[in-house]
Amino acid sequence: MKKIMDIWIKEGRLPNKFLVVSFILLSTLGTFLFSADEPLCKQVANYTMNVNLDTEKNIITCTELLSWTNDSETSTDELWFHLYWNAFQNNMSTFLREGTRRGRRVTGFREEDWGYCRVESIKIAQNDFFDEYDLLPTMNFRQPDDDNAFDQTVFSVKLPKPIEPGQTILLNIDFQSRVPRPVSRTGVFKDYYFIAQWFPKIGVFQDGRWNCHQFHASSEFFADYGTYDVQITLPSSFIIGATGEYRENVDNSDGTITHYFLQHSVHDFAWTASPRFLKYEDNFEFAPGKTTEITLLLQPYHENLKERYMNAIKNAIKYCSLWYGDYPYSTATCVDPAYNSRSGGMEYPTFFTGGAYFITRKGISRPEGVTIHEFGHGYFYGLIGSNEFENPWMDEGMNSFLDTEVYYAAYGEPFYSKMYFGIPVTFKNVKIPIESVGISRHRLTSNMDDMQRFSWHFMEGGSYGANSYAKGQLMMLTLKRFMGKELFAKMIKAYSLRNWFKHPCPKDFYNIVSEFAGQDMSWLLDQFIYGSGKLDYAIGNIINQRPRQHKGLFGGKFKEEKKADLKEILYESDVLVRRLGEVKIPVEVLVIFEDGQEIKEKWDGQYRWKKFTYKRPHLINTAIVDPEFKLVLDVNRTNNSMTKKHNKIAPLKWTSTWLLWLQHAFEFFTLFGG
């Protein structure tokens, strides 16, 4: 069978009838043509694609055979598709309109720089449920989100009859795309190709409607799981990497090679090609008896970063497997993106991009941070299949939490660093604690919006970032410390494993948190997820008073107590704890007396303040609200503590340090004069 295919590949495109037969086999037998592996989940959207890349014209021609099963409980007489690359066909697309408003401008584009994806033919192939039928006349561009008539990133076709629940439809789609100059995540720069979101991709039919949003400037993706069986023909000088297992290649004897990739149980397929890649492979055993094949495609000028990249990928696989479930795929491919390609820091199933600078230092989190982050998406975006359009925090926020946890576990606290003349310089006496990651973004912008919003509904890009990434991450860390490390670990692993291949929504997260907490946790999660209030608890003041001596008329008799009359000196002391933010959450308060004795108090945190009063032989020295730093979302940690013996050295020390900088700057000024 494979030999026959090879001949056909050499001759050109695969005949559609062959593809149809293959797919009927796939659908009915539930197995895979060239893989003995069992799929990990129900294969709803299966693609067989025969791709040809013309590197002279940057044109992709492709024959796509799609097998789609109606996995819902409702019938539909329409099919909706994404055509993401049409976001790059002119400046009026929703993506570029929104992007321009957010500072992502497209300038200096020549005619050949604009990309597109054009469906040239779309036909139903005959199977048990449908007869052959040409759908092209019914093709209609849709704008479900903003009615922007120029936007052609979504289209629908009308079926001759409804497709009932459980039925499968086969579609033959021919399309041609022009690879855009990179605007965002995908495109061609010189001979570096990064091809993502590039083919007509069916939306998700759920709850009786098509979940198929337009491509927005800040939205990512959502799709159903299936098998991708892809053959890519390119000039033989190119080194290629893609989603899934690399099965084999065929030399076409015309200067091109056809590469064959297969992956099941994923919801996307992306690939890259460049003649310059340095390719490294390593079989990594991340748990006893469990291995995955790591491929690293490195830019030649980043050769010195090979080990750092490899270690980061291994750490990511190791810790993610431990905390979120064993990595189930046999491959993980990391691409070091070319400079200017704008393809860095993106995730696709089993395939992701890092990002690096050719000079780095120990203690700087690049390339490790981004590599771990993008691999981590393989869980929340990949395996769990969160809807990034509608619930961005469920991917970006949770994954930012994942990446910081993995990074800090594997490498410890990074150092503060700054670039001077393009050279990173580390300040080893300044470490960046995990609690500080993202807190500034949260503090400055997160009250613009609730965290739970559609990604394009945020007030501005900064608010999308702060809420989806920073607040989501800090909420998870707060939850971890609030619930307790062990309980949280069990909960998050269960959340991950139970939702693999499921597309969970916020309600699923609520349910599992509540289940593990043993109580309904919506009182807390509502404030974080559906609220924009800030969390800020503070020590208002500490008052220590000497005991009062009785003086005046008591029971009609004059009394004047002298100091000596007091048998025991009991100071009257108060600690005022305040809730300055809107978020209400129980907190602990630690009160430390001058003799070193400590008292831990609990406050429900409901009213605006609470006063703790003591009568003790010693004065209060220090009070700390949230002493174990559980509430990482607290926007002001400085006001969480107060001490009667505050440090007088610190302001002197740092003013003196700053003074040197200023004195030196003034001397530098003199270069321009005296």
Cβ-based nearer residue to other proteins, 105 or 559: 105
Binds other proteins by CB under 8 A, chosen from 359, 459, 497, 569: 359
User: Does residue 358 interact with other proteins by CB under 8 A?
Assistant: yes
Cβ-based nearer residue to other proteins, 166 or 433: 433
Q: Rounded distance, CA 312 to CA 324, Å?
A: 17
Part of the chain binding other proteins (CB under 8 A), chosen from 21-29, 346-354, 438-446, 580-588: 438-446
Cβ-based nearer residue to other proteins, 302 or 584: 302
User: Smallest distance from the beta carbon of 192 to other proteins, in angstroms?
Assistant: 6
Per CB under 8 A, contacts with other proteins among 122-141 are none
Give the binding-site size for other proteins (rule: CB under 8 A).
Answer: 72
User: Does residue 444 interact with other proteins by CB under 8 A?
Assistant: yes
Task: Give the end-to-end CA distance of the chain in Å, rounded to a whole number.
Answer: 86
- H helix runs in 357-453, sequence order: 368-377, 392, 398-411, 439-445
With residue 463 as reference, give the H or E element that holds it: helix 461-465
Q: Rounded distance, CA 365 to CA 68, Å?
A: 42
Binds other proteins by CB under 8 A, chosen from 8, 150, 284, 357: 357
Cβ-based nearer residue to other proteins, 33 or 543: 543
User: Does residue 110 interact with other proteins by CB under 8 A?
Assistant: no
Q: Per-residue x/- marks for other proteins, 315-344, CB under 8 A?
A: -----------------------xxx----
Part of the chain binding other proteins (CB under 8 A), chosen from 55-63, 83-91, 146-154, 636-644: 636-644
Q: Is 408 exposed, middle or buried (0-12, 13-18, 19+ CB in 10 A)?
A: middle
DSSP 239-287: EEEESSEEEEEEE-SSSEEEEEEEEEEES---EEEETT-EEEEEEEEEE
With residue 506 as reference, give the H or E element that holds it: helix 506-517
Cβ-based nearer residue to other proteins, 468 or 640: 640
User: Does residue 612 interact with other proteins by CB under 8 A?
Assistant: no
Cβ-based nearer residue to other proteins, 558 or 668: 668
| SS3 assignment, position 233 | strand
Q: Is 29 exposed, middle or buried (0-12, 13-18, 19+ CB in 10 A)?
A: exposed
Collect contacts of 288-293 with beta carbons under 8 A, ≥24 apart: 290/321, 290/326, 290/327, 292/317, 292/327, 292/329, 292/330, 292/331, 292/332, 293/330, 293/331, 293/332
Part of the chain binding other proteins (CB under 8 A), chosen from 15-23, 250-258, 601-609, 637-645: 637-645
User: Does residue 534 interact with other proteins by CB under 8 A?
Assistant: no
Q: Residue 391 corresponds to which tokens in the numbers above? A: 């619930």
Sequence-distant (≥ 6) Cβ neighbours of residue 334 within 8 angstroms: 294, 295, 296, 297, 309, 313, 352, 353, 354, 371, 374, 375
Cβ-based nearer residue to other proteins, 29 or 665: 665
Binds other proteins by CB under 8 A, chosen from 145, 245, 347, 435: 435
Per CB under 8 A, contacts with other proteins among 168-187 are none
Part of the chain binding other proteins (CB under 8 A), chosen from 237-245, 373-381, 424-432, 525-533: 424-432
Cβ-based nearer residue to other proteins, 154 or 642: 642
Binds other proteins by CB under 8 A, chosen from 432, 448, 487, 543: 432
User: Does residue 416 interact with other proteins by CB under 8 A?
Assistant: yes
Q: Per-residue x/- marks for other proteins, 644-673, CB under 8 A?
A: x-xxxxxxxxxxxxxxxxxxxxxxxxxxxx
User: Smallest distance from the beta carbon of 360 to other proteins, in angstroms?
Assistant: 12
Q: Is 252 exposed, middle or buried (0-12, 13-18, 19+ CB in 10 A)?
A: middle
User: Smallest distance from the beta carbon of 550 to other proteins, in angstroms?
Assistant: 32
Q: Rounded distance, CA 374 to CA 344, Å?
A: 9
Cβ-based nearer residue to other proteins, 331 or 467: 467
User: Does residue 596 interact with other proteins by CB under 8 A?
Assistant: no
* SS3 readout for 155-180: EEEEEEEEECCCCEEEEEEEEEEECC
Sequence-distant (≥ 6) Cβ neighbours of residue 335 within 8 angstroms: 194, 241, 272, 297, 343, 351, 352, 353, 354
User: Does residue 279 interact with other proteins by CB under 8 A?
Assistant: no
User: Smallest distance from the beta carbon of 635 to other proteins, in angstroms?
Assistant: 8
Q: Rounded distance, CA 465 to CA 463, Å?
A: 5
Q: Are 71 and 44 in contact (CB under 8 A)?
A: yes
Cβ-based nearer residue to other proteins, 236 or 639: 639
Per CB under 8 A, contacts with other proteins among 285-314 are 299-301
Per CB under 8 A, contacts with other proteins among 190-249 are 190, 192
User: Does residue 446 interact with other proteins by CB under 8 A?
Assistant: no
Cβ-based nearer residue to other proteins, 602 or 646: 646
